Amino acid sequence: MVMAANPTMTLDRAVIEQSRRTYRDAPPAAAPVDKARVLAHLQTQLALLEASREVAHGDA
């Protein structure tokens, strides 16, 4: 572990350093996000939610 290499390092600091290494060494996302598809999906979901709310509350 990191603390063995530096006996003055606190446990908190060791955890922070390990976290940074883990994040830095993590592989990139598997596929890029298609923002247009995500936006279209969210707009559809919002429209369905609004329609559901109108039906539930009797709004017209």
Tens-place pLDDT, residues 8-28? 778 788 887 777 766 666 666
pLDDT value of position 3: 47
Confidence bin at 7 (pLDDT 50/70/90): low
Q: How far is CA 37 from CA 3, 13, 17, 43, in A?
A: 47, 41, 37, 10
Whole-number pLDDT of residue 16: 79
pLDDT in tens, 31-53: 788 999 999 999 999 999 999 98
In angstroms, the CA 2 to CA 21 distance is 11
Banded model confidence at residue 2, pLDDT cuts 50, 70, 90:
very low
User: Distance between CA 47 and CA 30 in Å, rounded?
Assistant: 30
